[in-house]
Structures are given as structure tokens and as C-alpha cells.
């Protein structure tokens, strides 16, 4: 599974890069707003930090305007992935942009039928929102399972990008269910490495080592 970090915070991205865990970045208008910086400036800086895809979202609602915005965003850097809403206009824009060699991420997916349409339109990524489905008492992982079966049935190349992930369990379940990518907040990604038994074992090893009075260097 690939990990994308869901943030527009440059410092957070830089802190995670040395781990080798960051395969890409996803942003949205809300995350850009939190950064308090110019949209295009932030996207350009993030794109310069890594080679993987960086999702930048259009704000238009009409297909022709989405296409224009998407082309403009794609001009920022080669690794920009244009984020489009899962509407009919968004699908039209997806088809047009993908046809021009621009990577696309169709977002706000809440049904398998929507995911099927996005794959037909040539989306690079489909973003089902797990957490928001859980919020209304629908198991978001069921949606991932359905999409996985449909895509495998027809050998669609669109990658399933599990989004709206809020916990370590979400990440584990998405991986078990066959999502290609998980986009996670920095706190969730860092938290995947934590386990109380790891901490306990490490403390015991270091306590015993200290008793030897030795140093490695």
C-alpha cells in the first residue's frame, strides 16, 4: 500500500520525508485555508519536495471551467494530480484532462456506482471517503470492498485511494480490503509506528544495556 499524507503543512511533510513513507500528498481547499498561504505557492512548494503525485483541487463546478482550472494546476509541476468532484461535470472534466495526459483524483466518492463511473472516465485515483460514511453509520470499508471487486472484474487501472481516514484501524482495514493507497493526516501516519509493547521492550533492553556500562561508539 502507498501512503499519501493529507496536509498542506510544509513542515509536517518535510518531517515525514526522511522515513521514506510518503509516496504522495493530498490537499484540498480546507487544508490550504489552514495554511494561510497562497494556493499555487503552497502546491508548487509541496511538488518540489517529492516526486510522487500531489493532489490539488479545482473549485469550479462547470466542466469547461474545471478543465481550464485543471490545466492551469497541471502547469505548476509535472507531479500535480488534479482533484475533481464526483459529479457529471467532474467526470467530463476527468475524461478531458486524462485524455491530455494529466493525472486526476476524483474525490468525494460515496458509492460503488460513482467509482465505476470514475474508472470509466479514466481517473488515475478514486477517493472513497471512509470516515464520512462511518459518521452516518455506514461501514466505509464495505465501499472499498465493492470498488475492489468491480475494478478487478474489469481490470480498471484506476487506483483506490482510501480517504477520510481517521485512525490506525482505518489504515489496517483499508490495507486488508485491498485499497491501493491510503491518504492520512500526519498524526495518523506517525501513530502507526506506536505500540505499548514496543515501548516496554525497548525500555527493558536499554535498562539492561545501561547496567553493562558499555558504549557502541
Domain housing 52: 2-212
Exposure on the CB side of residue 202, measured as CA atoms within 13 A = 6
> Mean pLDDT for each consecutive 10-residue tract of the chain (217 residues)?
96 97 94 89 97 97 98 98 98 98 98 98 98 96 98 98 96 98 97 97 96 95
Alpha helices in 54-154 (DSSP H): 63-74, 88-99, 112-120, 130-135, 140-154
Residue 182 pLDDT: 98
Residue 113 pLDDT: 98
Burial class (CB in 10 A: 0-12, 13-18, 19+), 49: middle
Answer yes or no: 83 catalytic.
yes
Nearest-angstrom CA–CA distance, 50 and 137: 37
Nearest-angstrom CA–CA distance, 155 and 213: 60
Output the CA–CA distances (angstroms, integers) from residue 22 to 52, 107, 137, 139, 165, in the order listed.
Answer: 8, 20, 31, 27, 16
Q: What is the count of structural domains for the chain?
A: 1
Residue 34 pLDDT: 86
Exposure on the CB side of residue 66, measured as CA atoms within 13 A = 25
Q: Is residue 217 part of a domain?
A: no
Give rounded-to-5 percent helix, strand, coil for the chain: 50, 20, 30
Q: Is residue 55 part of a domain?
A: yes
Nine-digit cell at 152?
478487478
Of the candidates 83, 95, 120, 203, the residue annotated as catalytic is: 83
Nearest-angstrom CA–CA distance, 212 and 46: 46
Q: Is residue 43 part of a domain?
A: yes
Residue 160 pLDDT: 98
Residue 30 pLDDT: 87
Q: pTM value?
A: 0.95
Q: Is residue 159 part of a domain?
A: yes
Is residue 173 a contact partner of residue 148, using CB atoms and an 8 Å limit? Answer: no
Q: Is residue 193 part of a domain?
A: yes
Q: Which CATH number do you get for residue 140? A: 3.20.20.70
Amino acid at each position: 500500500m502507498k501512503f499519501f499524507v493529507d496536509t498542506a503543512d510544509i513542515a509536517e511533510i518535510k518531517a515525514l520525508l526522511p522515513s521514506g513513507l510518503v509516496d504522495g500528498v493530498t490537499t484540498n481547499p480546507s487544508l490550504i485555508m489552514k495554511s494561510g498561504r497562497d494556493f499555487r505557492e503552497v502546491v508548487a512548494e509541496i511538488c518540489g519536495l517529492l516526486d510522487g503525485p500531489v493532489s490539488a483541487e479545482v473549485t469550479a463546478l462547470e466542466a469547461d471551467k474545471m478543465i481550464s482550472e485543471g490545466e492551469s494546476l497541471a502547469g505548476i509541476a509535472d507531479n500535480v494530480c488534479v482533484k475533481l468532484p464526483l459529479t457529471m461535470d467532474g467526470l467530463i472534466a476527468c475524461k478531458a484532462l486524462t485524455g491530455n495526459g494529466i493525472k486526476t483524483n476524483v474525490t468525494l466518492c460515496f458509492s460503488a456506482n460513482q467509482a465505476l463511473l470514475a474508472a470509466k472516465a479514466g481517473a488515475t485515483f478514486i477517493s472513497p471517503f471512509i470516515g464520512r460514511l462511518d459518521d452516518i453509520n455506514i461501514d466505509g470499508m464495505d465501499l472499498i470492498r465493492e470498488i475492489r471487486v468491480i475494478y478487478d472484474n474489469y481490470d480498471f487501472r484506476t487506483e483506490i485511494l482510501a480517504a477520510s481516514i481517521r485512525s490506525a484501524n482505518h489504515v489496517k482495514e483499508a490495507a486488508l480490503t485491498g485499497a491501493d493507497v491510503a491518504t492520512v493526516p500526519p498524526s495518523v501516519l506517525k501513530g502507526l509506528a506506536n505500540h505499548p509493547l514496543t515501548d516496554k521492550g525497548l525500555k527493558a533492553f536499554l535498562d539492561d544495556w545501561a547496567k553493562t556500562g558499555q558504549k557502541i561508539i
